[in-house]
Amino acid sequence: MEILKTNPRTIQALHYLLLVYEQMRNYKDALDVLEPLEELGEDITKQKTYLLSMSVLNDPKFLQTQKVEQLIQIYKQDYASVHLIFEYLFRVDPKRAWENFDSSQSELLVDLLWQINIKDLDLDIITKNSYLRELYSARGDLNLVTNSNIFEFDVLINLRGKSNATLKFDYFCDNCKHTSPFAFNRCSVCHSVDNLKIEFSLVKDYSRNFGEENNSFQ
């Protein structure tokens, strides 16, 4: 340990060691690497939340309900790894997801929100937040607004389901700008965690036939 502390390349070596443990899905040893990194002055908050979340998600001992509660506890420590945690929560337990949802993080979770089944929408939360009102009006489930400052939402709201258009999501790393068609938690290029940013654009919805009834509540 003394040798590690005096070597200027130690931090880089520890980061590589952490990545190796993570590749092996050995989250316990990966988490142990955070301690010397913190002693060397690194901010380990995001890495810790991410690795704790991954260890819960990949632990075969936990039941689904236990994973949900453990992830909520981890989330409440530092409010990090929001996309990773809520991807699981909205997929397996939308009710608990909404109970712990912070609408100020809607933009970070826009792709997940867009995909939530209509029966799992929480109307109390949605009607109280302007971004969510616009998002679900754009999706065509609700008719809560007549326009939006977000161009793509505004177009979809004005089309009112009379077109087979939908949103396509693209993901990029806020640290190195690497882009991907899929959401990621650790960037495959710069290896940072929790730097996911989401962009969306209008595309043709091939799953939907033009003229089909929209499934509006109203």
Which stretches of the chain bind Zn ion, using CB under 5 A? Answer: 173, 175-176, 178, 187, 189-190
Minimum distance from CB of 184 to Zn ion (Å)?
A: 9
Nearer to Zn ion, 66 or 179 (CB): 179
Nearer to Zn ion, 123 or 189 (CB): 189
Classify each residue of 45-74 as buried b or exposed e, where b means 16 or more C-beta atoms within 10 Å of its C-beta. Answer: eebbbbbbbbbbbeeeebeeeebbebbbeb
What residue type is 111 in one-letter code? D
Q: Are 137 and 144 in contact (CB under 8 A)?
A: yes
Nearer to Zn ion, 190 or 203 (CB): 190
Nearer to Zn ion, 84 or 187 (CB): 187
Nearer to Zn ion, 100 or 185 (CB): 185
Minimum distance from CB of 191 to Zn ion (Å)?
A: 7
Question: Residue 203 phi/psi, 5° resolution?
Answer: -140, 165
Nearer to Zn ion, 178 or 197 (CB): 178
DSSP 35-97: HHHHHTT---HHHHHHHHHHHHHT-TTS-HHHHHHHHHHHHHHH---HHHHHHHHHHH-HHHH
State the Cα–Cα distance between residues 171 and 107, nearest whole angstrom: 12
Minimum distance from CB of 114 to Zn ion (Å)?
A: 24
Minimum distance from CB of 195 to Zn ion (Å)?
A: 6
CB atoms within 10 A of CB 24: 10
State the Cα–Cα distance between residues 70 and 72, nearest whole angstrom: 5
State the Cα–Cα distance between residues 192 and 113, nearest whole angstrom: 24
